[in-house]
Chain A
Amino acid sequence: KNEVEQSPQNLTAQEGEFITINCSYSVGISALHWLQQHPGGGIVSLFMLSSGKKKHGRLIATINIQEKHSSLHITASHPRDSAVYICAGNTGNQFYFGTGTSLTVIP
């Protein structure tokens, strides 16, 4: 069993839909990262959070430390949001990666 589990693995949405990707972890971490990987392979760090909620444009990330759960929300989804979203927890230099959620937003 992975230390970090993501759901769903694959997600197809219509443009404009509200999207939620979930991440649960079973290990102690000091921070949780949400990463976006585009088809070419490049990765962008979207959020790093250790508590509460962060918002950047149409993206919102939340974390519940007690429940060891984080969610990434995308409001008013757009085809350019199509990518693989990876959550990762870290403590020190130890990283635990989820297997990713492949999102496709259809126009």
Chain B
Amino acid sequence: GAVVSQHPSRVICKSGTSVKIECRSLDFQATTMFWYRQFPKQSLMLMATSNEGSKATYEQGVEKDKFLINHASLTLSTLTVTSAHPEDSSFYICSARVGQFNSPLHFGNGTRLTVT
């Protein structure tokens, strides 16, 4: 149980285009979803926290207009990288949580974004 599906797993796009990444909880309703970015050989960096039906809370230094997060339902959150640039190339991963703060996290398999 508690499967999180993230799609696509890999995407290559040209500079200036936008890319949407989906994160779905398949067998549970996710109260909260988190989006992370991971640079090579580094740990996870939390980008934003999204709760269903409300605006995402972004971490300091993360541009909300560049990384648009929508959490339209209890099973789907999307991250759109707008006007992508090569420096946005990274590994993006989501996690979902059932219930409140001390509940386990369930992770997607990540999306490798390459901007050319």
Contact = CB atoms under 8 A, between A and B. Distances in A.
Interface residues of A, number: 23
B107 interface: yes
Consensus secondary structure, chain A interface: strand
A45 B102 contact: no
A93 to B, nearest CB: 5
Interface stretch (B11-19, B22-30, B41-49, B66-74): B41-49
A60 B112 CA distance: 31
Contact of A93 (B43, B101, B109, B110): B101
A107 interface: no
A2 to B, nearest CB: 9
A99 B45 CA distance: 10
Contacts of B101: 30-31, 90-93
Interface in B97-116: 101-110, 112
Interface string A72-99: 0000000000000010101111010111
Given A86-B44, A93-B32, A98-B43, A40 B102 contact: no
Find the residue from A33, A44, A45, A98 having the highest chain B CB count within 10 A. A45
B84 interface: no
B43 A100 contact: yes
What 5 pairs between A and B have smallest CB-CB spacing?
Answer: A43-B107, A42-B109, A41-B110, A97-B43, A93-B49
Given A41-B112, A86-B43, 5 more contacts: A35-B105, A40-B109, A40-B110, A41-B38, A45-B107
Interface of B: 32, 34, 38, 42-46, 49, 57, 91, 93, 95, 101-110, 112
13 contacts: A40-B109, A42-B110, A43-B95, A43-B107, A43-B110, A86-B44, A92-B101, A93-B32, A93-B57, A93-B101, A97-B45, A98-B43, A99-B42
